[in-house]
Structure 1
Amino acid sequence: MDAYTNMEGAAGLADTAHRSSSRDSMSKVVTASVIGTMVEWYDFLLYGTAAALVFNKLFFPSLDPLMGTMAALGSFAVGFIARPLGGVVFGHFGDKVGRKTMLMTTMFLMGGGTFAIGLLPTYGQIGIWAPVLLILLRVIQGIGIGGEWGGAALMVIEHAPRDKRGFYGSLVQMGFPLGMLASTGIFAYLSRMADTDFLSWGWRVPFLLSAILVFLGFYIRLKVSESPVFAAAAQEKEPPKIPLFEVLTKHRRNLIISIGLKVCEVAWVYILTVFVVVYGTTVLKIPKTVILDGVLLGAALELLTIPLFGHLSDRWGRRPLYFLGSIFTIAAAYPLFMCIQTGNPVIIALAVAICMNLGHGSMYGPQAALLPELFGTKVRYSGASLGCQVAAGIGGGLAPMLATALLARQGHFVGVAIMIAVLGLVTLIATAASTETYRDNLYES
């Protein structure tokens, strides 16, 4: 009797969700999520490029170049360390109030922090208060992006048909390469200015442009209705009082697995897009445009490969793509730096692009579906956000900083390659420990 009742309830939820979803075409939902996510990633990724090229000189000028870069990357890492807090706060209210409201809030939080960075006085103007304010604004950015990803992913996959969740979720992930193309592209263009002009005012332009993009993203997201799965589940029963507590007590294994699944992918992409820029320009004295061109090529190709890997995950499952990505990352860690050391622009661009797409893209594409699929509807925002953002704090925030410290201590890249391989092994183990989810029903709770 209980089993029959549960099946009947699940069918009712599915029917309710289907009727609700018909009010919003998938194209509208996907467009709103991709543009909104692109804007937020543009804001967040601007900081990484600026940390590698500008902030060490303007906000930490009293340190030698490598230590100044480490300090700048430390302020970069602060944003990642703040991301779990954003995941907890916005995950809590996203599970209790709804996905859409939280997405609107995170956009203004991120955009406000980014715009304010563009107005900051430098160390030469206000002294120690300059890096203090920079770090504070980076914390605000981190909290915003920490709540953004989970909500954007859920809005799409909870609207999507079961057999296309991987593909539609991967379209949300395209916000990352789009944001990277926009942020890296504008910095690559402005870095061709005379150094005096670039350091004086040119670096501020990308941050100030954020205001326009945020209002555009907010307007588009305003047109989309609440997730049908959340709306249907909300009619069945009240959400738990503290979703985070339920995640930590009843979904602890999947939370740990989700952290392991994310940590290699996020570390790998920030090694490629932040540390490689530092290593190439500071140690090898390669022109910054050569490295940035490689990042741009990799991001452009990911616009094709991320949805491809998402589509393949609907056919083959999520785990095979994660096995591919983690094994590739382990194997490619050392050869990547050998390619960078050649100084050849073509070899560098191809190496960075291939590593981004086969190492990062193969895992990032299915990720927007996989991590939420590990958790029930009532705690899905909290569980997916917390797992993703804890891993981001470890892999994205600390990895470039630790890599720079290893480089400063050892004088070569071998320690960095070993670190990447270890993180790849962690994700490989997490993938082996996980269960396949691509056929699961999202209406189970």
Structure 2
Amino acid sequence: MRTQQAQRGTQTRRAAAASVIGTTIEWYDFFLYNTAAALIFPAVFFPESSSYAGAMQSFATYAVGFAARPIGAAIFGYWGDRIGRKATLISTLLLMGISSGIIGVLPGTASIGILAPLALVALRLLQGVAVGGEWSGSVLLAMEWGDQRRRGLLASFAQIGVPTGLVLGTGGLTLLSALLPAEAFDSWGWRVPFLASFVLVAVGLVIRLRILETPMFAAVVATQRTSRSPVTEVVRHHWREILLSAGLRFSEQMPFYLFTSFVLVYAVEERGLSKTFVLNAVLVAAAVELVTIPWFSQLSDRLGRKRVYVSGAVLVGLLAFPYFAVLQYASAAAIFVMVIVSMVPHAMQYGPQAALIGESFPTHLRYGGAGLGYQLASVFAGGPAPLLATWLLHATGTPFSISVYIVLAAVVTVVCVRLLPDRSRADISDDSVYLRKR
């Protein structure tokens, strides 16, 4: 008995490590593209466009990756609920790393013309498919191995990969932009972090190959309860949970991409701040989340997932107008502080979110159900956010139109969270509680 407990403890630690490192690599690649889309890609891939049109075109390619994420959730959700979490996660890691590495050697429009932006869009699509399949598997890897009384904390290990990937991706570009002359950075320096993806993928593969299948899914396989068509089944029987999971992400995902990507364009173009200054602010904000995400996640284990989550959504709504007031009128130092503060309500939601969504689906349909719910929000919230914010600012002439957009997102989130049952303390290893619903 003691030996079994020790083995389970070892696998839980490995699963947590694999969850953090795997999602860090995935999000490093994804956020690296986001930052480059704001600062580099308009000049490299859309050189003939005006500043406004170039930003719109670059953010449009950025949005394509988000549109592809539900497709990835469906494709890899099928396999994750058919053959298991481990094998599926190895596939998503390879797809993301190879796609990102190729961006590092992709010629610009000046060299190959229209083929350059077309290839960029295709590679962004592959990135989106990979991320779409990665998230739920990484969450379940840690959540289904560990102590069920600490699901909030354990599931949040996958979420920690987001700020870590943001620190590495943004930090890499920040370091290179500070060390290299502007001409060298714009011509070849920005490519180096993309090429580093090949090395990171090799590290991630070594770690993931050492993990065993989760005991919850292994029990489903042993009792022959895997579904023949898991994605079809979860949509048919759990469509309400999928839609509510997507809706509860609005006030978390949409402001996050405004506060980490759109802010790069706004602060540089409208306020005349340097790229390095704004990148440093985002970098520090991401580092703060390395602490706040697990802290709010363990708090949700004690107080309940929904209570912590709704508090974060309300704070996002309250921060919407002060955020852009500071960005528009305050000093550079105040902007730096506000960028950091804006990440706190995000952490209040993003930390507990993994368990909140994962708990809403039975084990044999959890990979696909959680993935679809999580990634569906990408189409309506995360992906269009910088694009719509750029358009709103151009159309209205005031950043406060974007504040209204954020408040509406917070309202959607609060309603969806209230409608979703709280299973913070339920036994999710037993499918019977979900099957009775049908």
TM norm. shorter chain > 0.5: yes
Alignment-derived partner of residue 76 in structure 2: 90
Mapped pair 1:215 → 2:202: yes
Measure how far apart 1:384 and its partner are.
0.3
- After TM superposition, the score normalised by the length of structure 1 is 0.94
Contact 1:187 1:206 (C-alpha < 8 Å) held by counterparts = yes
Contact 1:286 1:343 (C-alpha < 8 Å) held by counterparts = no
Alignment-derived partner of residue 434 in structure 2: none
Measure how far apart 1:370 and its partner are.
1.1
Q: How does 1:216-255 map to 2 (within 5 A)?
A: 216-255=203-242
Contact 1:375 1:383 (C-alpha < 8 Å) held by counterparts = yes
Alignment-derived partner of residue 443 in structure 1: 429
Contact 1:301 1:353 (C-alpha < 8 Å) held by counterparts = yes
Alpha-carbon spacing, 1:20–1:107, altered in 2? closer, same or farther (3 Å): farther
Deviation digits for residues 390-415 of structure 1, max 9, x if unmatched?
A: 10222111111111111111122121
Contact 1:306 1:365 (C-alpha < 8 Å) held by counterparts = yes
> 3-state DSSP class of the match of 1:131?
helix
> 3-state DSSP class of the match of 2:423?
coil
Measure how far apart 1:19 and its partner are.
6.9
Alignment-derived partner of residue 70 in structure 1: 56
CA distance in 1, matches of 2:11, 2:418: 36
Q: Which moved more, 1:42-51 or 1:277-286?
A: 277-286
Q: Structure 2: which 5+ runs fail to align?
A: 432-438
Q: Which moved more, 1:105-114 or 1:412-421?
A: 412-421
Amino acid of the residue matched to residue 142 of structure 1?
Answer: G
Q: How does 1:42-441 map to 2 (within 5 A)?
A: 42-192=28-178, 193-342=180-329, 344-357=331-344, 359-441=345-427
Measure how far apart 1:341 and its partner are.
2.0
Q: Structure 1: which 5+ runs fail to align?
A: 1-14
> 3-state DSSP class of the match of 2:211?
coil
> 3-state DSSP class of the match of 2:355?
helix
CA distance in 2, matches of 1:347, 1:294: 11
- After TM superposition, the score normalised by the length of structure 2 is 0.95
Alpha-carbon spacing, 1:41–1:389, altered in 2? closer, same or farther (3 Å): same
Amino acid of the residue matched to residue 87 of structure 1?
Answer: A
Measure how far apart 1:20 and its partner are.
10
Alpha-carbon spacing, 1:326–1:84, altered in 2? closer, same or farther (3 Å): same
Amino acid of the residue matched to residue 384 of structure 1?
Answer: A
CA distance in 2, matches of 1:144, 1:21: 31
Amino acid of the residue matched to residue 341 of structure 1?
Answer: Q
CA distance in 2, matches of 1:155, 1:263: 25
Alpha-carbon spacing, 1:325–1:97, altered in 2? closer, same or farther (3 Å): same
Measure how far apart 1:344 and its partner are.
2.4
Q: Which moved more, 1:282-291 or 1:68-77?
A: 282-291
Deviation digits for residues 169-206 of structure 1, max 9, x if unmatched?
A: 11221100000000111111112222211111001011
Contact 1:41 1:176 (C-alpha < 8 Å) held by counterparts = yes
CA distance in 1, matches of 2:262, 2:421: 33
Contact 1:43 1:114 (C-alpha < 8 Å) held by counterparts = yes
Contact 2:11 2:212 (C-alpha < 8 Å) held by counterparts = no
Amino acid of the residue matched to residue 24 of structure 2?
Answer: M
Contact 2:139 2:157 (C-alpha < 8 Å) held by counterparts = no
Structure 2 residue aligned with 1:29, among 9, 12, 15? 15
Contact 1:270 1:396 (C-alpha < 8 Å) held by counterparts = yes
Amino acid of the residue matched to residue 152 of structure 1?
Answer: S
CA RMSD of superposed structures (Å): 1.4
CA distance in 1, matches of 2:260, 2:109: 26
Give the share of equivalent positions with the same residue, in percent: 41
Alpha-carbon spacing, 1:21–1:417, altered in 2? closer, same or farther (3 Å): farther
CA distance in 2, matches of 1:127, 1:205: 22
Contact 1:20 1:228 (C-alpha < 8 Å) held by counterparts = no
Alpha-carbon spacing, 1:23–1:225, altered in 2? closer, same or farther (3 Å): farther
CA distance in 2, matches of 1:339, 1:160: 43
Contact 2:46 2:109 (C-alpha < 8 Å) held by counterparts = yes
Contact 2:11 2:211 (C-alpha < 8 Å) held by counterparts = no
- What is the number of residues matched between the two proteins? 428
Contact 1:66 1:282 (C-alpha < 8 Å) held by counterparts = no
